[in-house]
């Protein structure tokens, strides 16, 4: 099983931030990434629908001999982590607990802000996860739904992107906090623009690195870390445009010719109960 790939699923391109950290930390591991770009964003959708979509992605990737799965989407982690863990027998890792632990370690004022989709913020998932580490930390949640389409479009450079970010963070800036959690895996792609809007003293936490650390620990515990020196051939799947997806993969992961396959889930019957 050591040579088996690691599955990574996301509502779109944001999970590439997780994939990038996995590639850094575990360079000999093969990643099979599935981004549901056709139905992105997940944030405004009903919880049951998000869980259903997530199980469809997992079911599709389960045709491959995966050794672990990462739900590289905060909204999908909220809606479907437990359901996915029950549905498959391999280790399944979400992104909320790793990011929460990192924020709890960093904050000095014990005031942590979290930005994410409305579903993620309304779920209070980060409030509960951070409270498990330190119940005295005050968590400020702010839904920033307009940032996700900005990232998915690939147009995150220029004055228009800056205006969108300023508008989305305006309410949050009226609050006091010393740590900001990027509670959506899309947001590290625009971290430099987010950082430019905030007080320079604010620490920004991306769950990506912590999630990769969690994955490495799980694989080491199960003796599943691939340590060979063979060629690694990552595979990418998308429900949307392969060309657009490939452009973002090249830009973010610096892969010359990534293999991207379009998947029409209407033609695929999920093997899991919804």
* SS3 of residue 25 by DSSP: helix
| Neighbour count for residue 41 (Cβ, 10 Å) | 25
Give me the helices (H) in the chain, please: 16-25, 47-61, 74-87, 96-106, 118-123, 125-133, 147-152, 159-169, 191-197, 207-221, 242-253
Distance CA 40, CA 50 (A): 10
C-alpha 211/C-alpha 36 separation (Å) is: 20
Catalytic residue among 184, 215, 218, 260: 184
Active-site choice (19, 73, 151, 219): 73
Active site residue 184: yes
Catalytic annotation present for 73:
yes
Question: What angle, 0 to 180 degrees and rounded to 10, lies between the N-to-C axes of helices 47-61 and 74-87?
Answer: 60
Rounded Cα gap, residues 115 and 129, in angstroms: 15
Contact 99, 210 (CB under 8 A): yes
Distance CA 114, CA 207 (A): 11
Closest CA to 51 of 42, 40, 64: 42
Closest CA relative to residue 78, chosen from 109, 50, 104, 102: 50
Residues marked active site are found at 73, 184
């Amino acid at each position: 099983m050591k040579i088996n790939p690691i599955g990574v699923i996301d509502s779109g391109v944001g999970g590439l931030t997780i994939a990038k950290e996995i590639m850094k930390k575990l360079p000999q591991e093969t990643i099979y990434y599935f981004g549901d770009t056709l139905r992105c964003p997940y944030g405004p959708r009903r919880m049951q629908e998000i869980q259903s979509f997530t199980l469809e992605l997992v079911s599709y990737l389960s045709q491959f001999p995966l050794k672990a799965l990462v739900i590289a989407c905060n909204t999908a982690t909220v809606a479907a982590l437990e359901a996915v863990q029950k549905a498959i027998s391999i280790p399944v890792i979400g992104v909320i607990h790793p990011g929460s632990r990192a924020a709890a370690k960093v904050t000095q004022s014990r005031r942590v802000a979290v930005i994410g989709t409305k579903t993620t913020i309304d779920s209070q998932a980060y409030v509960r996860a951070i409270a498990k580490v330190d119940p005295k930390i005050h968590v400020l949640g702010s839904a920033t739904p307009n940032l996700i389409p900005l990232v998915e479009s690939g147009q995150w450079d220029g004055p228009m992107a800056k205006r969108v970010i300023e508008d989305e963070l305006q309410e949050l800036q009226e609050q006091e906090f010393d740590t900001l959690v990027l509670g959506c895996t899309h947001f590290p792609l625009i971290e430099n623009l987010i950082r430019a809007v905030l007080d320079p003293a604010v620490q920004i936490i991306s769950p990506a690195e912590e999630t990769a650390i969690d994955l490495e620990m799980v694989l080491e515990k199960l003796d599943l870390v691939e340590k060979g020196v063979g060629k690694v051939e990552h595979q990418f799947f998308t429900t949307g445009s392969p060309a657009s997806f490939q452009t973002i993969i090249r830009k973010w992961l610096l892969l010359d010719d990534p293999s991207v396959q379009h998947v029409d889930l209407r033609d695929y019957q999920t093997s899991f109960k919804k």
